[in-house]
Structures are given as C-alpha cells and as structure tokens.
Amino acid sequence: MAADKTAYLGRSVERLEDPPLVTGAARFVADISFPGQLHMRVVRSSYAHGEIISIDTSEARLMPGVVAVWTAEDIADIGPVDFRADRAAEGLKPYRQPVLAKGRVRYVGDPVAAVFAEDPYLAEDAAESVVIEVEELPVIVSADDPPGEFAAGRGTEAAVMHHSYGDIDAAFANAERVIALDLRTGRHSGVPMETRGAIGRYDAAKDMLELHGAAKVPHRNQETLVRMLGRDPSRVHVHECHVGGGFGVRGELYPEDILVLVAAMRLGRPVKWIEDRQEHLMCANQGREQHHLARVAVDAEGRILGIDDEFFHDQGGYVRTHGSNVANRTMCTITGPYRVPAFRAVCHFRLTNKTPCATYRAPGRYESTFVRERLMDAIATELGIDPIEVRKRNLIAADEMPYTIAFDEPHVSDMVLDSGDYAGLLDKAAAAFGWEALRVELDRRRADGELVGAGIGMFVEEGGRGPTDGARIAVDANGDVEVITGGASLGQGFETTMAQICAEALGVDYRRVRVIHGHTDLIPYGIGAHATRATVMTGSAVNVAALMVREIAIDAAAEMLQTPADELDINDGTVVRRDGPTGPSVTLGEIARRLAPGAAGPGQGDPGQGNPGLAAEGFFTTKDTVFPYGVHLAVVRIDRGTGQVAVERFMVAYDVGRAVNPMMIEGQLVGGCIQGLGGALYEEFVYDEEGQPMAVTLADYLVPSLREAPDIEVLITEDAPSPLNPLGLKSAGEGGINGVGAAIAGAIGDAIGDPGAVRRLPLTPGRVRDLLRQADAASPGTP
Amino acid sequence: MNGKHDITLTINGQAYAIRVEARRTLADVIREECGQTGTHLGCEHGVCGTCTVIVDGAPVRSCLMFAVQCDGAKIRTVEGLADGEEPHPLQRAFMEHHALQCGFCTPGFLMLAVGVLEREPDIGDEDLLDILSSNLCRCTGYANIVKAVRAAAAQMRRR
Ligand code: FES
Ligand code: FES
C-alpha cells in the first residue's frame, strides 16, 4: 500500500461506519421512536384482482387503542404515488398506484385500509378485524397472456416500446446463420435483511413534515412528496437513518411512506410503520421477470450482424416510481460489450396481477446479459467456435473508445461507452481462472461421467449518470472535517468512500472526516445512491470541494507562515513546507480559527462581510455515463440424481476505473455475486394461477445461506479509468451480480452437454432435472 | 387473553422489572420495553437469525420466544459485548475483515458466534460453518464473516 500516510485513495482502510454497527448503537428505522407515536398497520388485499364491494372497518374502529382506520375515501385528496420528476412518462400515469386501493385491488398485498393505534400489537389485532368484500375479476399472472383490462377502457399492455438502429432487415437477410432463442428470467428481488419502515412526523410549531427511513434518492423523493402533498419544498424533509441493505428496492417511495406522512399531519402525532417479512415479500418492489424472443444474425465467422429481440416485461399490478426504466435499461444494454451493427428491440410492457416491479441491483442489465450471453453461447455452439473466441471476435476494441450507440428513437439517449479494454479483461480473467487447462480438465471429468461445465458472462455496467452533484466541506476549529453531501447510504460504505476521497484531496486523516448524507434539510441538492451514482457523482463533487478547501487553507497558511503558497503542502492535517516538513507549520484547525466568521483572518477581506471559515462548496457536472465492465466465469457440478447444482468455482473480474477502497469493492462484488447466485439457482417469486404468491416467507424465498455461498475469486482491474471525471471513478455496486445468471446458465449447459439447453432462470433442482431428462432423451445411450 | 405479567429480565447485567402481555416476544420486549435496539428483527419467523441473543448461555432466536418465558433469565445482547471502550475480539474481527456492509445482520451473527465459541472454544471448522449457516446475510456473501469468526476464534482460544 502507499507509503505516504496521507494517501487514502486506493487503500483498504477500515470503515468509518462499522463501530456503531458492531456495538448495537446504530439506529435503523425500527430503532427510532418519537414521543406519542402511533403505529400503523396496513390491511391488504388477499385477492389478486377484484372489484372492492365493501370495506367494513366498524369493528376495528371500536377496538382498544385504535385511533383511526382509513380507506381510500379518507385520503381522496391524495393522488397516486407519483413517478420521480425525471421520469415523465405521460402514457404510464394512469397505471400509478393509489396510496390505498380505489375501486379495484390488483395484487395480493395491495393496501386497502390503514389502522392507526397506540401499539403495534393492537394495530395488528384491529387490522385483522377489517372485512374486505371483493368481487373477483379475471387474473393475469403472466405477461405472455393476452392483455386484459386494467381499468374500464384501459388495457394491461401499458406501452409497447422500441429501441433500434441500423438496417436490421438487411442484417438478417444477409446472415450466414440466424439463431433464435426463447429465454426467461425469473422474478426476484433484493430482499434486504431489514424490511421497509417509515416514520412520519409533523412539527406543527415549525410547520415541518419529516419522513424518517431509507432514502436512496432523498432529494428526488422530497420533490415527489412536495408535488403529492402540495407543500412548500422547505417544509417537507427526508431524513435517512441506518439502512439494512438497499439493492434498488429500499428507499423508493411506496404507498406506506405517503400514509405515515398524511397521518402524521391529520392525526397530529408521529406515525411509525414497520413492515413485516411477509408484507415485504408481497409488497416491496420485485423485478427481473421478462420473456425474450431473441434472434441474432451472424456471418460465417460468428460475427454479429444484428440482434432482434421482442420481449414481454411483467410489471405486476402497478407502475411504480421508476416508470418503465427497467425495461428501458434492458433495451439499452442488450448489445453490451459487443459490436452489433443493427439492432431492434420491442418491449411489451405489461401489467399483471402480481406485486409491482421496479429496480433490483443491475436493473434490466442482469436480464439483458442473460439474453445476450445465451446468444453468444448459441453462436459458439452453432458454428463450432470456442466460446471465448466468439466473444473476442465481437468485442468492441479498446481503440474504438469512446464508442457511441445512437438509437433511432429521438427520446432514447445515446449510449457512449466511455472507455474499456474488454478483450484485455477477458484475457486476464481467463488466464487467472486457468481457462485453457480447466477446459481440458472438465473434458476429462465429463468423460468420467461427471456432470461438470464452465460458463461465461460478459457485460458492461453503467453508473454515475449526471447531471450534477455537489458537496459542502467545512473544517472546524479542531481540524475535524465535515462533508455534507446529498448522497444516500444503503449500507455500502458511502461514508468511508467519501471520507477517503476528501482525505486524499485535502491532506487529512480519513478518520477525522465526518460524512453526512440523506438529510434534505442540510443541503438542497443531491442525486442519492441509485444506479451506482454515489461514488462517481458525489465522490467527484467531494473531490472538487476538498481541493477548494485545500487551496483556501494553503493561501491562508502562506500568509500566516510568510511562505509562498506553492512551497506548501498539507500533510495529516497540517500545512508544512514541501521541502522541510520540520520547519514552521500550521494546522488546519488553526487556519479554521483564523478564518472563522468574525475573526480577522488573512486574505478573507473584511470580517464584517461574513467570513465563510475554512469551507467550500464544490460541484461536479457531467451529462455522460460511465461504463465499468466485467467478466464472470463459473464452474458447476450437477448431481444427476437430485438436479442440485454445486458452484465449484466462480470468478468476478471487473474493471472499476479507479478503486477507492479495494476491500470494500471486493466486498460489494462478492456480496452481489452471491445475491446473483441466489437469483440464478434458488430464489423465485412464484404465483399460482389465482395470483396467490407462493413465496411469502424466507423459508419459501430461498436467499443463499453460507452453505450456498462458494468462495468467489475476485479480480479487480483499473485498466480503463473513466475520462469523464478527474479521479477516473466508475462504480462497483452492480458488477458482482450482472453476469451471474448468464455464467451459471452457460456452465450448466456445458455440464449437460447441450450448451443451449438453458432457457430459463432460476435453475432450481427441478428445472435442472428436466434439462437432464431432455438431454438424455435427445441422445439415448449416454449414461 | 391480554392479561399482563410481571417479569424481570436481566439484560447485560441490568435488571428490568416490567409488565408485559404473554404474547409479546422476547425480541420486542428487549427492543421496546427495555430499549435495547441493537437486537434486530429480519423475519420474525425464525429463519434469518438477526434476532439472536444469548439466554442463560445459549444463543436463541428472540423472535421465537415470549418474554414471559425468560422471567429471571440472564440475557446478553450486542450492547453488552464490548468491555467498556474495548471491543470484543469478535467485534474487532468483524471490522478488520470487513464482515459487515449494512450491518443489520451483524448483531445476530456476533451473538451466535459468541454463544458458540464460549461454549465450544475448540469447535471444528465444519461445525462452525454449520452453525454460521443458520443466520442470513444479504450483503457480504459470507466469506468475510467466516474469516472474521475464524480469526476471533483463534484469538479467543489463545486468551
Ligand atoms: S427475526 Fe428472528 S429469526 Fe428472523
Ligand atoms: S451486512 Fe447487510 S445483511 Fe449482513
């Protein structure tokens, strides 16, 4: 590691977040209580689709401790949960979710009534006594089914979306070979260990409404609340507490967030809601469920001429805060790291009577990678080319960067792949994995009758989309540094990352940097922690602000020490001469005192003008996206009898541009990878034909335990720092999960001896047994 | 059915004399009546282990017990692990090995591991892995949790 003790970028330092988390001092939303608070319990639909005939709350209202019971009528003035400001999709607006169901229920778990009581047990008792009478309507459980009726005169196919470029018809007309695949990804979700929760609090004395809980996009959520509740922007604030995992799911606005806020105002007491696990598995955003009919046209050498994909996106009961973002990300990323001269994607964006869907880690991209890499494997098999070789023939070359993919549709932004040596990473990963020797070894083991195989998933991730983020940094009289950001933390080490960036730029110990995030009242802007923007956007802003503070400090010290500024440096919080650190020096704390408001500091003009102290506010603006990229390699062994899949080896190779804290990046990659293995092998939200969810406990929705978590080999590279920000940052949050489904699918196909066999995730033992039976039927005589 | 019972729970050496309904879970009472919110609830049906505490020397899932069952019991939670300012070897190891991200599962893993290592300091690695596989973590992928527990176990044995 760097010998310079003020070099903090690139060091695996311990996290600043940890001490309160290991001692029980952390404050998750359930740990926060306000005096006089009420507890909310939501009464939910047990039908997947139906007309509400009546809701009888009379008994509940009389039960002990119950303060109020609301149905849609009680909040008729509150509109549906709105899309975020940046997702103006007019055509989708009729599909937004009402805060409490109006007229119809559209999935099992749809909120119908809310009980407010003195105690959570009493609230639950009362909720059980609410009787909802529903006349059942036809249930749609699959986006493959013909569209039905969402509301009178409105169909369940909310949109048909197109992305295209190039001459796709010519590509297929000229193809040497056309390969078509029918592919499905199962319904999964982030399933953080902490369920959702929210506390609404209204301070009448200050006319201030507060939402306490998770907030992956605090300022966007605030804007939405301002619109929905008709309040002044300065009178609704979002306060983030500790959050037990986000994964795209936590921190979005849901009906329950709106309910606690409205109730806090109308009932005049703080209102707390903590979700139980069953509710979480029925109501929090799910994702991934798509059915693709994909075709690829190739020339005789396996070079791609065009990809044509029609797919069906299962959106569930309503369109939530993201609009159609996941489907759009799928369409934008199908071509991934490959040169695809012509492209057409058509998405049928359909509502079904299941839990609504939105983003889950690597949204749309886990799905598109599965589709694309299945196509690549199919090309390799059809043309008898090695799977690595076929990928290499198609990868965008390093010298083609930046590489622009411009879509025909005017509303779809170009994808400008900023930098990358895709083939270089594939080579490095294959070498580190011992791919050549491994193939030989696997051939031998297969000849001995074992069902073993290897697979590849290659992908481009995206992150750090702009436009702007800022940070405010102030040094106090003690030399401690406060960084205020509009970022958010969902448990990924945001504070440590920002502290390291600040420490490096400013020249202080990172442990003296305190990072604030997730409080909209402390800073009026911020992009939050979605789409792995935090490291890139907020990190770059922190870097800018810290360099500004550094300059102010050096200028002040130059005057205090009577030394030219260019001869000074900041080392461990002290300004020293570059040539002789033993000479005269001044600490940042001393400089801060000198520059404090009212003090007669140097270079700060008239103290009467209001001296800002040793502080600065910096911004980073970009209109571009950064594209980290990765390779996943897997080796699996299948038990012929049970269909159980054992993952013998798995490698995540990922280019992060610049690793701020390699230990934390590795942690993200490994954690994401295991989550991806869950989605590839075990986890699935299954519904019966009536739309009843079958996975409503953690005993049915099978999150991997230690026993299902193989050791993950990690190869982090920094070959392609982003040219789009000064530190070269990309991001790491989603690189562990993106290619897992693809790599596991390829490995299982390879093990079975039919590389194209896998058409569907997750590969539960039952499905793997079916694949084995099919393979046996296709080639009788094999064991 | 909603009659209340007078019970005394001793949590981390401190006695709490409280009056609770029979149906209140130990987890809820530790968190709400006794204010020790370091013990978390991830599922409330005995699957995830985030609510693990030590009752009379044995790790248990506090969501699956009623508080009245613990009248007079000695309970240890994550708040009682450190010795003043000095973190417990397991707490230290979790920080050193980056065995937590969001940290929500951490108290449960710590109490599970402490409970086991105190009772069976020489536990074999396979048995240790078996026990650790009874709690869930969604962030770390487990590898660093295993590293941390192994390191702390070695250190606790040396003591
Ligand atoms: S909360 Fe007790 S086991 Fe999950
Ligand atoms: S660290 Fe987040 S669940 Fe374990």
Which phi-psi region, left, alpha or beta, contains residue A598 (left: φ > 0; alpha: ψ -120 to 50)? left
Closest CA to B137 of A491, A665, A287, A278: A491
B138 Cβ inside 6 Å of ligand 2: yes
Chain B interface mutation, best of A23, A27, A675, highest count of B Cβ atoms under 10 Å: A23
pLDDT band at A532 (very low <50, low <70, confident <90, very high): low
| Average pLDDT estimate for B141-159 | 94
For A4, the 3-state DSSP assignment is coil
Closest CA to A704 of B139, B120, B35, B6: B139
Is A148 a member of any domain?
A: no
Ligand found nearest the CA of B60: 1
B33 Cβ inside 6 Å of ligand 1: no
Residue B11 shares a structural domain with residue B73: yes
Residue B10 shares a structural domain with residue B73: yes
| Domain end among B59, B80, B101 | B80
Query: CA A28, A32, A37, A41: dihedral to nearest 10 degrees?
Result: 20
Residue A663 shares a structural domain with residue A770: yes
Residue A432 shares a structural domain with residue A493: no
Distance, in Å, from the CA atom of A400 to the CA atom of A402, rounded to the nearest integer, reads 6
B136 Cβ inside 6 Å of ligand 2: no
Residue B121 shares a structural domain with residue B66: no
Q: A673 vs chain B: nearest CA distance in angstroms?
A: 7
Residue B48 shares a structural domain with residue B17: yes
Residue B74 shares a structural domain with residue B107: no
Residue A608 shares a structural domain with residue A692: no
Is A181 a member of any domain?
A: no
Biggest CA-to-CA distance, chain A: 93
Residue A430 shares a structural domain with residue A310: yes
Q: Which pLDDT value is given to residue A443?
A: 97
- Please write the tens of the pLDDT for every residue from A602-632: 554 444 445 678 999 999 988 888 999 999 9
ipTM of the complex: 0.98
| Domain end among B43, B59, B80 | B80
Q: Report A:204-243 residues touching B (Cβ under 8 A).
A: 242-243
Residue B44 alpha carbon, nearest atom of ligand 1: 1
Q: A629 vs chain B: nearest CA distance in angstroms?
A: 21
Give Cα separations from A646 to A312, A650, A763 (angstroms).
Answer: 31, 11, 11
Least confident of A115-119, A246-250, A409-413, A777-781: A777-781
H-helix or E-strand containing A481?
strand A481-485
CA angle in degrees (0–180, nearest 5) for A153-A159-A163 = 160
Residue B73 shares a structural domain with residue B119: no
- Copy the structure tokens of residue A525: 């802007």
- Please write the tens of the pLDDT for every residue from A652-705: 999 999 999 999 999 999 999 999 999 999 999 999 999 999 999 999 999 999
Residue B48 shares a structural domain with residue B103: no
| Domain end among A569, A596, A621 | A621
DSSP for B39-78, written as a single string: S--S-SSSSS-TTEEEETTEEEEGGGSBGGGGTT-EEE-G
Residue A393 shares a structural domain with residue A513: no
User: Of B44, B94, B105, which is closest to A277 when you measure between CB atoms?
Assistant: B44
pLDDT band at A88 (very low <50, low <70, confident <90, very high): low
- Copy the structure tokens of residue A493: 């080490």
Say if A244 is an interface residue toward chain B (CB within 8 Å). Answer: yes
A704 Cβ inside 6 Å of ligand 2: no
Question: Which CATH number is B133's domain given?
Answer: 1.10.150.120
User: Of A19, A492, A698, which is closest to B101 when you measure between CB atoms?
Assistant: A492
Distance, in Å, from the CA atom of B18 to the CA atom of B9, rounded to the nearest integer, reads 8
Domain of residue B60: give its range. Answer: 4-80
Closest CA to A130 of A42, A51, A57: A57
Residue B9 shares a structural domain with residue B68: yes
**Buried-state track A600-615, b at ≥16 Cβ within 10 A, e below 16:** ebeebeeeeeebebbb
Helix ranges (DSSP H) in A252-364: 255-267, 277-283, 325-333
| Domain end among A566, A600, A621 | A621
Q: Phi, psi (5° rounding) for residue A345?
A: -130, 140
Strands (DSSP E) contained in A557-673 are 568-571, 574-577, 586-587, 615-621, 629-638, 645-655
Helix ranges (DSSP H) in A230-324: 255-267, 277-283
B72 Cβ inside 6 Å of ligand 1: no
Mean residue pLDDT of chain A comes to 93
Query: Before A94, cis peptide (omega within 30)?
Result: no
With contacts defined as CB-CB under 8 Å, which chain A residues touch B36?
24
Distance, in Å, from the CA atom of A717 to the CA atom of A421, rounded to the nearest integer, reads 11
- Please write the tens of the pLDDT for every residue from A486-510: 888 877 899 999 999 999 999 999 9
Closest-CA residue, ligand 2 atom 4, reads B137
pLDDT band at A780 (very low <50, low <70, confident <90, very high): low
Residue A386 shares a structural domain with residue A413: yes
Question: Which CATH number is B19's domain given?
Answer: 3.10.20.30
Cβ neighbors of A76 (< 8 A, separation 6 or more) are none
Distance, in Å, from the CA atom of A146 to the CA atom of A491, rounded to the nearest integer, reads 41
Packing angle between helix A539-561 and helix A588-595, nearest 10 degrees? 80
By percentage, how much of chain B surpasses pLDDT 90?
96
Query: Before A410, cis peptide (omega within 30)?
Result: no
What's the gap in Å between A673 CA and the centre of ligand 2?
A: 14
What's the gap in Å between B116 CA and the centre of ligand 1?
A: 18
Q: Which pLDDT value is given to residue A1?
A: 33
- Please write the tens of the pLDDT for every residue from A148-167: 999 999 999 999 999 999 99
Distance, in Å, from the CA atom of A534 to the CA atom of A524, rounded to the nearest integer, reads 16
pLDDT band at B129 (very low <50, low <70, confident <90, very high): very high
| Domain end among A579, A601, A621 | A621
Residue A701 shares a structural domain with residue A748: yes
Residue A350 burial (10 A CB sphere; 0-12, 13-18, 19+): buried
Residue A493 shares a structural domain with residue A547: yes
Count of C-beta atoms within a 10 Å radius of residue A444: 11
Q: B52 vs chain A: nearest CA distance in angstroms?
A: 13
Residue A383 shares a structural domain with residue A401: yes
Residue A558 shares a structural domain with residue A652: no
DSSP at A269: S
- A325 in Cβ contact with A404 (< 8 Å): no
Residue B17 shares a structural domain with residue B73: yes
What's the gap in Å between A194 CA and the centre of ligand 1?
A: 11
Distance, in Å, from the CA atom of A415 to the CA atom of A531, rounded to the nearest integer, reads 15
For B9, the 3-state DSSP assignment is strand
Residue A570 shares a structural domain with residue A483: yes
- Copy the structure tokens of residue A75: 């909040």
Is A177 a member of any domain?
A: no
- Please write the tens of the pLDDT for every residue from A254-277: 999 999 999 999 999 999 999 999
Give the residue with greater pLDDT, A720 vs A459.
Answer: A459
Strands (DSSP E) contained in A337-450 are 342-350, 403-405, 415-417
| Domain end among B80, B111, B129 | B80
Residue B14 shares a structural domain with residue B65: yes
For A242, the 3-state DSSP assignment is strand
User: Of A491, A663, A709, which is closest to B98 when you measure between CB atoms?
Assistant: A663
How long is chain B?
A: 159
Distance, in Å, from the CA atom of A453 to the CA atom of A506, rounded to the nearest integer, reads 50
Is A664 a member of any domain?
A: yes
Is pLDDT of B79 > 60? yes
DSSP for A514-553, written as a single string: EEE-SBTTT-S---TTSTT-IIIIIHHHHHHHHHHHHHHH
- A553 in Cβ contact with A614 (< 8 Å): yes
Distance, in Å, from the CA atom of A750 to the CA atom of A768, rounded to the nearest integer, reads 13
Helix ranges (DSSP H) in A656-779: 662-677, 740-752, 765-778
Cβ neighbors of A722 (< 8 A, separation 6 or more) are A418, A419, A464, A536, A626, A657, A658, A728, A729, A730
Domain of residue A356: give its range. Answer: 290-463+625-778
Is A48 a member of any domain?
A: yes
- Pairing type for strands A304-314 and A342-350 reads parallel
Chain A interface mutation, best of B47, B129, B139, highest count of A Cβ atoms under 10 Å: B139
What domain count does chain A have?
3
Q: Which pLDDT value is given to residue A216?
A: 80
Question: Which CATH number is A490's domain given?
Answer: 3.30.365.10
Residue A270 shares a structural domain with residue A416: no
DSSP at A153: T
- A283 in Cβ contact with A355 (< 8 Å): yes
Distance, in Å, from the CA atom of A59 to the CA atom of A78, rounded to the nearest integer, reads 26
Query: Before A402, cis peptide (omega within 30)?
Result: yes
Cβ neighbors of A472 (< 8 A, separation 6 or more) are A483, A484, A485, A523, A545, A615, A616, A617
Residue B107 shares a structural domain with residue B152: yes
Residue B60 shares a structural domain with residue B27: yes
Distance, in Å, from the CA atom of A327 to the CA atom of A315, rounded to the nearest integer, reads 9
Say if B100 is an interface residue toward chain A (CB within 8 Å). Answer: yes
Residue B99 alpha carbon, nearest atom of ligand 2: 1
Say if B145 is an interface residue toward chain A (CB within 8 Å). Answer: yes
Distance, in Å, from the CA atom of A236 to the CA atom of A206, rounded to the nearest integer, reads 11
Residue B41 alpha carbon, nearest atom of ligand 1: 1
DSSP for A64-103, written as a single string: TTEEEEEEGGGGTTS-PPPPPTT---GGGGGGBPPSS--S
- Please write the tens of the pLDDT for every residue from B43-54: 999 999 999 999
Is A43 a member of any domain?
A: yes
Do residue A711 and residue B143 have CB atoms under 8 angstroms apart?
A: yes
Q: Which pLDDT value is given to residue A536?
A: 86
**Terminal Cα distance for chain B, rounded:** 50
Do residue B138 and residue A18 have CB atoms under 8 angstroms apart?
A: no
What's the gap in Å between A581 CA and the centre of ligand 1?
A: 55
pLDDT band at B2 (very low <50, low <70, confident <90, very high): low
What domain count does chain B have?
2
Distance, in Å, from the CA atom of A337 to the CA atom of B11, rounded to the nearest integer, reads 56
- Please write the tens of the pLDDT for every residue from A722-767: 888 888 888 888 999 999 999 999 999 999 998 888 999 999 999 9
With contacts defined as CB-CB under 8 Å, which chain B residues touch A706?
129, 132-133, 142, 145-146
Q: Which pLDDT value is given to residue A2?
A: 36
B53 Cβ inside 6 Å of ligand 1: no
Question: Which CATH number is A44's domain given?
Answer: 3.90.1170.50
pTM of structure: 0.95
